[in-house]
Amino acid sequence: MHASEFFASPSCAGAPGLEVPGGQRRNWFRTHLEQSLPAGLSPDEVEAHLVGMPEHYWQRVSEPDLRWGLETIHGFFRQIAALNVPPSLPFVSSRQSAGQDSTQVMLCTWDRQGLLAKAAAAFSAVRLNILQADVFTRLDNVVLDTFTVTEFDGARAATPARLEEMTFLLEGALSEPPRFASLWACSSHRFLAPPGPERPVIRFDNESSPTGTVIHLEAPDRLGLLYDLLEALAQQGLIVTSARIETSGKLARDRIHITDGHGRKVSDPERLAALGRDLESALRTPE
């Protein structure tokens, strides 16, 4: 999984603007971090991040988010280094969005098939609404995903108790074997907010990205929409390499980059047509 578009403008004074290529911004951050290393982090940890994150991460990340990401990954590695801690255990940190009634949640763990769908399911299970999601994978297979969420009414930031419930369910969904309670809870949105009759708009684009197929989706927003979309892709053996999730009012506009299991574009017309039918069915019809 990789980055997304329309990321927030950098807030660090002196940082190159978003129009500057990602490689140049990464070099600026390298120099800046060398002068002010985040507390508790080694130079090797910072260099692994500088080398391992994709270019479009550097085109969009701000200095506060970069430091938060470094601290989150550090927390993940420190966690799995502890005794009797399974390597599948995710590390989750959160903060309230500045000046907004929303919460940012950062998730770090090892990449695996269906990870993003399980994360989306855990949010919907505790009735947290995902307004935006930015997902990245480093070269060492470390995933760093950031979700902007609200309580389901869309007017309040997530409470600490709600975030704790979400983390518990996500840990259970990612454990080996998964906890039954997590699996049940993560599918409960189908009973709470079943898909409506409206047809989603789904468009496949093999031109705008040189490395994958882009799915453009517009659909009425509802609880569990993102999970249903991502789960359908996972069941088809497709890999999400980049995602941009945006919700405005009652309309969800998603841009998902995918490849097949061999890292190639999905270009066969018959397979794309079948995928479109499967996605429409998953988004409209409860199982």
Q: What is the pLDDT of residues 80-104, one digit of tens each?
A: 998 888 888 999 999 987 777 899 9
**Helix (H), strand (E) at residue 252:** strand 251-259
Mean pLDDT, rounded, of the chain: 83
Residue written as token pair 């930031």: 157
> Binning pLDDT at 50, 70 and 90, where does residue 19 land?
low
Q: Measuring CA to CA, which residue among 198, 223, 188, 208 is closest to residue 256?
A: 208
pLDDT at 263 over 60: yes
DSSP run (H or E) holding 147: strand 142-151
Lowest-confidence region among 71-85, 197-211, 215-229, 236-250: 236-250
The Cα–Cα gap between 179 and 12 comes to 42
Domain with CATH 3.30.70.260 in the chain: 22-79+88-187, 195-284
Among the listed residues 237, 245, 243, the one whose alpha carbon sits nearest the alpha carbon of residue 266: 237
Check if CATH label 3.30.70.260 holds for domain 195-284. Answer: yes
Q: Does domain 22-79+88-187 have CATH number 3.30.70.260?
A: yes
Phi and psi at residue 120, to the nearest 5°: -60, -40
Quote the radius of gyration of the chain (alpha carbons, Å).
Answer: 19
Please name the residues in contact with 186: beta carbons below 8 A apart, sequence gap of 6 or more: 118, 121, 122, 124, 125, 169, 173, 227
